[in-house]
Structure 1
Amino acid sequence: MAHIPYTIFRSGTFYYNRRVPKHAVEAYGQFIRQALSQDPDEAAAYAERLSNVLEASWVNPSCVKPVDVAAVVESFKPRSVLLSEMSEEYLSLRRIDETPPRSALATFISLAGNRDVAGYTREDAKLFVCHLLKRGNKTATIRRRINSLSAILNYAYSELDIDKRNPFTRLLIQGEGEDSLKRGTFTNDQLKQGYDKALSSGSTVKLLMPLLGETGCRLAEIVGLKLEDIDLQEDLIHIRPNSARRLKTPNSTRTLPLVGYAKLAIEQVIQRSEREWLFPRYIKGGTCKATHASNALNKWLKRDFEGMTAHCLRHTMRDRLRALECPNDLIDQIGGWRTVGGVGVSYGRGYAVEQVREWLQRACL
């Protein structure tokens, strides 16, 4: 067995064993002896790290700063933390809709158990995918669930300093993408019909249709608006992160003009709003519950518009702008899409608000 500096081996355990320099004897005593580990590699690593800490504490002969040796060694040892505990910590730090990750966690824990985060294996991850496939989940849904769990484990490994490959990394899903359906788009007649019905319905949920359809925004961007984000004098909304919801990409922060049906709809919603939020019913516990709004809106849209959803409105706006030969980078700016046209398009401040207003007015119904 190779010798490990400053250690002795007794009764199956390695101990740190070191004579203390004269100038530090008053703080530490003549010798330091502390149990390290039964594993030689682990003991060698702990001994080296403890030596560094001790030498730093007595490097100045005139000012020795003693440390709690037992506590220092204990801090070297990896913590055993349950997945549920790390998940709560992760979700408390991230301003995201908690429903998808909590759904993924509940399913995964029911299959693999609530264990130490370092104990999960590739087989656990494969079991999770197999289970979701058998339940009939779409592969896109499964991929989102994998991404949620992967993000939590990445956070745990980083915080706990665990050197381990994430079991969800590069996990393949059989037939991924083959079950996807291309999202439909609304006709102009369908949009007008829906907008008119929304404005006369008295329903704030239905008013989301013209707000989404005439701005191209993501649903959470509208549902999570604060009243201070809305400027009715200039007919503008400021899409920016806040305490209830973050934005999907850096490009998502933007200012959009309100034209046509969007302006009429937001005027109605504001009259029914209270305190600081445009849609207070979907702000619960300081978090934007966009999924709840999506479910409520989609129930109506799917019934009246041949299975269309709220996200189809976003696709429709892109098609409408494309049909007008609007520049691609301006379309990306309006929708807050990540631009893929090369480095140059990301330079500068982008298009002015009045230029954006001009194109939205051209697309206005």
Structure 2
Amino acid sequence: MSETISPTFTFVKDGVFYFSRRIPKELLRHYLSPRIAYSLRTRSGKIAEARARKAADQLDEYWFHLRTQDAQLPGKHMLRLGAAEIAGSSPTPQVSSSSFVLLSEAVEIYLQQKGKGRPITFHRAAKRACGYVIEACADKFLDVYTKADANKFRDALIARGLAGSSLTRVFGTVRAVTNFAASEQGLMLNNPFAGVYYDRTAGVSDRNPLPSDAIQTVQSKCREIDDNLRWLVALVSDTGMRLAEAAGLSKEDIITDERGSLVVRVRHHPWRRLKTKGSERVVPLEGQARWAAQRILTQGSSSELAFPRYNKTNTTNANAASAALNKWIKEYAPDGCTMHGFRHSMRDRLRAVECPADIVDQIGGWRTDGVGHGYGSGYPIEVLRKWMKAVT
């Protein structure tokens, strides 16, 4: 076939083939537009012909279904009055108009509404996850995707080498995008990307807590070396903060409370967002965390940031901090232990002194289940400090 001749139901724009087909007049009331048109995402006439033929066949089958639903019920005049009224008043089956929403369009709908004020990583995650679907199963209308497509998508992700936790994150993003776009358009959608089976533990390595002797060794080395990197390690080691939370602190976040003790305010900054709303909190600084905070406040740097080396752009580079510090602590901690292990260790250390679980959650910024925990402003700082002193 000559590439210059467009196959049936297609046209070419900027070298790319598009599918185009007019809606039959008797079915126009089911649609929002008199024509269906979308990109076939190819410059090949042969590929375009196959895709257009498949789409046309799907439409013919769907339109047959619509015509059948619209047809007058044979023998309706012979029904008893009650049954005839039921048959006559039966509403026209609601037809999903999600045929007008491609997955690529659903991403734009999602980001336009949900992406406002969100970091670039949020936008990238949505586009990347749905891009995986399009690459594996093509860019289809939302109601055209099937469970077979979802399984094919799963297999493609596994072939990429994604771990079970990454699959969970990607599938969650795809479900969020498709559900939101369908809701925005008022569509009924049985999401095929829900309930897909895969091994959630595959390729997932445990994040081990650091044992107490390793924590003491690392903290001792921090005081011995006494530089900005070691202050960051020490701060995390005795607060259980996420590394990104600590790396993105400003000096103004480290304050003296009314009793003259140091605390750190973990709060949102333009250069570093928090993982969840519950992550915003105040943490008492005790043990080596207090030492690190004092060193940060007395350093000669003119920067307003606690760790300027990881805030040279408009976004805290927590990945660089993680890579550098994980490499350093490998010498003093058992295999499998990372900076994030300090967060796990803090929870274990608080458990060991029988600290109440909701206080543990408040210190670490973890979510506490139960409606009642959403009331009030939490425990006073002195109550938190009592437990932090008990573990440092």
Tell me if both proteins adopt one fold, taking TM over 0.5 as the criterion.
Answer: yes
TM-score between both structures, scaled by the size of structure 2? 0.63
Q: Quote the Cα distance in structure 2 between the aligned partners of 1:107 and 1:310.
A: 32
TM-score between both structures, scaled by the size of structure 1? 0.67
The partner residue of 2:207 within 183, 208, 213 is 183
Q: Quote the Cα distance in structure 2 between the aligned partners of 1:203 and 1:87.
A: 44
**SS class of match (1:334):** helix
Give the 3 Å change call, closer, same or farther, for CA 234–278 of structure 1 in structure 2: same
Is the CA contact 2:222–2:230 (under 8 Å) kept in the aligned structure 1? yes
Q: Quote the Cα distance in structure 2 between the aligned partners of 1:99 and 1:302.
A: 34
Q: CA deviation at 1:301?
A: 3.0
Structure 1 counterpart of 2:171, one-letter code: I
Is the CA contact 1:227–1:277 (under 8 Å) kept in the aligned structure 2? yes
Match of 1:357 in 2: 385
The aligned runs of 1:46-57 (5 Å cut-off) are none
Q: Quote the Cα distance in structure 1 between the aligned partners of 2:142 and 2:300.
A: 49
**SS class of match (1:221):** helix
Match of 2:196 in 1: 171
**SS class of match (1:196):** helix
Is the CA contact 2:175–2:193 (under 8 Å) kept in the aligned structure 1? yes
Is the CA contact 1:95–1:245 (under 8 Å) kept in the aligned structure 2? no
Is the CA contact 1:104–1:149 (under 8 Å) kept in the aligned structure 2? no
Q: CA deviation at 1:215?
A: 0.7
Is the CA contact 2:115–2:123 (under 8 Å) kept in the aligned structure 1? no
Q: Quote the Cα distance in structure 1 between the aligned partners of 2:223 and 2:175.
A: 42
**SS class of match (1:287):** coil
Q: Quote the Cα distance in structure 1 between the aligned partners of 2:27 and 2:196.
A: 35
Q: CA deviation at 1:193?
A: 1.4
Whether 1:139 aligns to 2:164 is yes
Q: Quote the Cα distance in structure 2 between the aligned partners of 1:148 and 1:206.
A: 36
Deviations 1:144-191 (A, max 9, x none): 222234334445445555554444333321x22365454322222211
Q: What runs of 5+ residues in structure 1 fail to find an aligned partner?
A: 1-10, 15-36, 46-76
Match of 1:231 in 2: 255
Is the CA contact 1:84–1:114 (under 8 Å) kept in the aligned structure 2? no
Match of 1:325 in 2: 354
Match of 2:376 in 1: 348
Match of 1:282 in 2: 310
Q: Quote the Cα distance in structure 2 between the aligned partners of 1:346 and 1:43.
A: 44
Question: Percent same amino acid among aligned pairs?
Answer: 33
Q: CA deviation at 1:227?
A: 2.8
The aligned runs of 1:1-365 (5 Å cut-off) are 39-42=28-31, 82=105, 85=108, 89=112, 91=115, 93-95=117-119, 97-98=121-122, 101=125, 104-105=128-129, 108=132, 111-112=135-136, 115=139, 118=142, 121-122=145-146, 123-158=148-183, 163-173=188-198, 175-177=199-201, 180-201=204-225, 203-232=227-256, 234-270=261-297, 271=299, 275-283=303-311, 286-305=314-333, 306-340=335-369, 342-364=370-392
Q: Quote the Cα distance in structure 2 between the aligned partners of 1:363 and 1:12.
A: 71
Is the CA contact 2:219–2:234 (under 8 Å) kept in the aligned structure 1? yes
Is the CA contact 1:83–1:117 (under 8 Å) kept in the aligned structure 2? no
Q: CA deviation at 1:320?
A: 0.8
* Length, aligned pairs only: 299
Q: CA deviation at 1:295?
A: 2.8
Q: Quote the Cα distance in structure 1 between the aligned partners of 2:143 and 2:310.
A: 37
Deviations 1:226-255 (A, max 9, x none): 332221564111112232333333332211
Deviations 1:52-103 (A, max 9, x none): xxxxxxxxxxxxxxxxxxxxxxxxx957654675676555632374598279
Q: Name whichever of 91-100 and 319-328 sits farther off.
A: 91-100
Q: Quote the Cα distance in structure 1 between the aligned partners of 2:174 and 2:341.
A: 27
Is the CA contact 2:253–2:266 (under 8 Å) kept in the aligned structure 1? yes
**SS class of match (1:207):** helix
**SS class of match (2:208):** coil
Q: Quote the Cα distance in structure 2 between the aligned partners of 1:117 and 1:93.
A: 28
